[in-house]
């Protein structure tokens, strides 16, 4: 097997290039800052905001980003008294400033982010475009980007966070920095919020700024924001700046302050992941089709929703693979995910025939143990990299054709098929497909419970891969079962990941073995919300994915499928 060539192609298929820097002139450093302000209205006055801008000027900040509703005030027209004062302060401090204010326009109220330049001019304006079901604000209808000397900026506000389409569209439009102005949700979960935007930074090759409000008075003496039916803790207000690898460049403490990141100018300007072939050929058209409706979910015995999933690591010989299938079958496995293989290495009919014989033997094991088996790779046709799902009866349920190209002869897939099983709806993606967040989103829209991921993926780091996958699981409300192989990186493992971005099972260090986990597909993320007549404590439902999908705005997402947007 020509593992190095094929695997590197899979791993590096879509890694965005870093722009070359000129050696002729020095690359100046640029400082960007994210402020965290007090959630108490007394901490969100115009005077305190102005003082923070002045401080940024003294610190040599190029761009200062504030949270949502950074001034506690009634909605007003823009330009208006508040925005005019902010413009004056930005001009005095010679700092670009992003503020987020409640804007009144006639009988409508918008939540609006403004980009104000060093001359005190409003050079960018974005009205929040998305909301959750209980929110009543008016929505904007544009997703602009704004070009500055240190990079291209995109803006988000509040509940925009729950819609990963925005970050992808901004990357496609050339944004290098996405700034999210946030304020406390009805209930915040620091892990899911943060893992989601770290994952999107990785998936889209963008820098990410999260500017948030804080209710914490002491970094070491506070009650985390949690809900036990009686007590809701303090909003956790860490503002932070994330790089394209999902690493923190700067963070405030929990009690607020200003996080400052300094990087060479060329680093901030680095563009993210641009359009792929699948964005051009209509593969992702369901993402921007307002008329799209998924098939109804399969009728499943509720007792079958608790599923034993297994993984068999690595590029094993067929004899070793069959032995491992016996091992997991004896433990009562319902579905097992295998590796991504390259059994057909050129257009050789003998290799293709051997691949078909191997598949037949694997199908027989599926029938013997009454379990679903998923595998992928160039297994019986050099022109295809297929994901194959075999049913409990040993028959092939269906195939997914890999969308991302990783070898010259490959005919790329252009569809996102889903497969109904006796425990729920599943889908497959393969290795370099991991770079396309649109694939996972398309599956979420179709109601997929479980995503099976045979992969050679190992690049550029295991931590990079894990952050990306954690974000995808959270954004799309799906379980991910990823079968790879152990390597020298201690955290390079196969894994089972739940819809909250938590690893519930992992493989062993630098060893190809098996792992299993019993997962409950009905243990889905809660959505926390308030109603006008509600009290201090939020209500909750297990419908986060359904609520988010119901509030999508496909008419804004044309950039995801260039064929559709023409």
pLDDT band at residue 229 using 50, 70 and 90 as cut-offs? low
Q: Is the confidence at residue 565, as pLDDT, over 60?
A: no
Q: How many CB atoms lie within 10 A of CB 15?
A: 14
Specify the pLDDT at position 40. 92
Q: Say which residues have a Cβ less than 8 Å from residue 113's Cβ, sequence separation at least 6.
A: 98, 99, 100, 124, 125, 126, 128, 155, 156, 157, 179, 181
Mean pLDDT of 264-282: 85
Q: Which of 455, 442, 470, 452 is nearest to 200 (CA)?
A: 470
Pairing of strands 240-242, 207-211: antiparallel
Cα 345 to Cα 364: distance, rounded to the nearest angstrom: 24
The pLDDT tens digits of the residues spanning 141-153 come to: 999 999 999 999 9
Q: Which of 73, 102, 39, 101 is nearest to 232 (CA)?
A: 39
Lowest mean pLDDT among 117-121, 250-254, 477-481: 250-254
Lowest mean pLDDT among 23-27, 151-155, 253-257, 464-468: 23-27
The pLDDT tens digits of the residues spanning 423-461 come to: 999 999 999 999 999 999 999 999 999 999 999 987 789
pLDDT band at residue 11 using 50, 70 and 90 as cut-offs? low
Q: Which segments of 39-162 are extended strands (E)?
A: 63-65, 96-105, 108-116, 122-127, 145-148, 151-157
Cα 289 to Cα 185: distance, rounded to the nearest angstrom: 29
CA 447 to chain centre: 17
Q: Say which residues have a Cβ less than 8 Å from residue 323's Cβ, sequence separation at least 6.
A: none
The pLDDT tens digits of the residues spanning 326-347 come to: 999 999 999 999 999 999 999 9
Percentage of the chain lying above the pLDDT 70 cut: 92
Q: Is 267 helix (H, G, I), strand (E, B) or coil?
A: helix
CA 267 to chain centre: 22
pLDDT band at residue 1 using 50, 70 and 90 as cut-offs? very low
**What phi, psi does 363 have (nearest 5°)?**
-60, -35
Concatenated DSSP letters of 156-183:
EEGGGGG-THHHHHHHHTT-SEEEEE--
Q: Which two tokens stand for residue 83?
A: 């925005």
Residue linked to tokens 């064929």 = 563
Residue ranges of domains in the chain, CATH in brackets: 28-279 (3.60.110.10), 307-437+446-520 (3.60.110.10)
What letter would DSSP give residue 394? S
């Amino acid at each position: 097997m020509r593992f190095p060539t094929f695997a590197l192609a899979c791993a590096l298929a879509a890694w965005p290039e870093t722009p070359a820097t000129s050696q002729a002139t020095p690359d100046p450093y640029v400082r960007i800052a994210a402020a965290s302000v007090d959630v108490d209205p007394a901490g969100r006055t115009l005077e305190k905001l102005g003082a923070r801008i002045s401080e940024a000027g003294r610190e040599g900040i190029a761009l200062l980003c504030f949270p949502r509703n950074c001034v506690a005030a009634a909605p007003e027209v823009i330009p208006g008294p508040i925005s005019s004062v902010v413009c004056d302060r930005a001009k005095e401090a010679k700092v670009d400033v992003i503020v987020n204010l409640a804007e009144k326009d006639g009988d409508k109220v918008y939540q609006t982010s403004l980009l104000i330049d060093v001359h005190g001019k409003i050079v960018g304006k974005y009205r929040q475009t998305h909301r959750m079901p209980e929110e009543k604000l008016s929505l904007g209808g544009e997703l602009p980007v704004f070009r500055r000397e240190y990079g291209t900026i995109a803006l988000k506000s509040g509940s925009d966070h729950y819609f990963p389409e925005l970050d992808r569209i901004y990357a496609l439009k050339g944004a290098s920095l996405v700034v999210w102005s946030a304020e406390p949700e009805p209930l915040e979960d620091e892990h899911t919020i943060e893992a989601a935007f770290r994952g999107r930074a990785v998936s889209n090759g963008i820098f990410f700024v999260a500017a948030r409000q804080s209710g914490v008075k002491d970094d070491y003496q506070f009650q985390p924001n949690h809900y036990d039916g009686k007590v809701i803790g303090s909003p956790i207000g860490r503002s932070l700046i994330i790089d394209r690898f999902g690493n923190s460049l700067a963070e405030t403490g929990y009690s607020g302050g200003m996080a400052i990141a300094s990087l060479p100018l060329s680093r901030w300007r680095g563009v993210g992941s641009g359009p792929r072939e699948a964005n051009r050929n209509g593969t992702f058209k369901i993402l921007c089709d307002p008329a799209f409706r998924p098939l109804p979910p399969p009728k499943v015995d509720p007792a079958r929703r608790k599923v034993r999933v297994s993984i068999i690591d690595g590029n094993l010989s067929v004899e070793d693979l069959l032995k491992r299938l016996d091992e997991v079958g004896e433990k009562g496995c319902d579905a097992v995910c295998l590796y991504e293989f390259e059994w057909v290495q050129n257009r050789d009919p003998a290799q293709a025939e051997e691949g078909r014989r191997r598949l037949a033997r694997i199908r027989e094991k599926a029938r013997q143990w009454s379990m679903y088996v998923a595998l992928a790779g160039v297994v019986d046709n050099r022109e295809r990299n297929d994901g194959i799902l075999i049913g409990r009866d040993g028959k092939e349920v269906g195939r997914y054709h890999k969308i991302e190209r990783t070898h010259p002869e490959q005919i790329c897939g252009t569809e996102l098929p889903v497969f109904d099983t006796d425990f729920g709806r599943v889908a497959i993606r393969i290795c370099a497909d991991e770079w396309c967040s649109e694939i996972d989103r398309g599956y979420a829209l179709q109601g997929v419970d479980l995503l099976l991921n045979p992969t050679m993926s190992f690049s550029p780091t295991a931590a990079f891969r894990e952050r990306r996958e954690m974000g995808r699981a959270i954004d799309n409300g799906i379980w991910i079962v990823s079968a790879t192989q152990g390597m020298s990186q201690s955290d390079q493992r196969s894994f089972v990941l739940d819809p909250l971005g938590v690893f519930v099972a992992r493989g062993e260090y630098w060893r190809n073995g098996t792992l299993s986990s019993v997962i409950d597909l009905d243990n889905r993320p809660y959505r926390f919300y308030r109603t006008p007549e509600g009290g201090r404590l939020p209500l909750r439902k297990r419908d986060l994915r359904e609520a988010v999908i119901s509030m999508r705005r496909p008419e804004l997402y044309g950039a995801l499928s260039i064929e559709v947007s023409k």
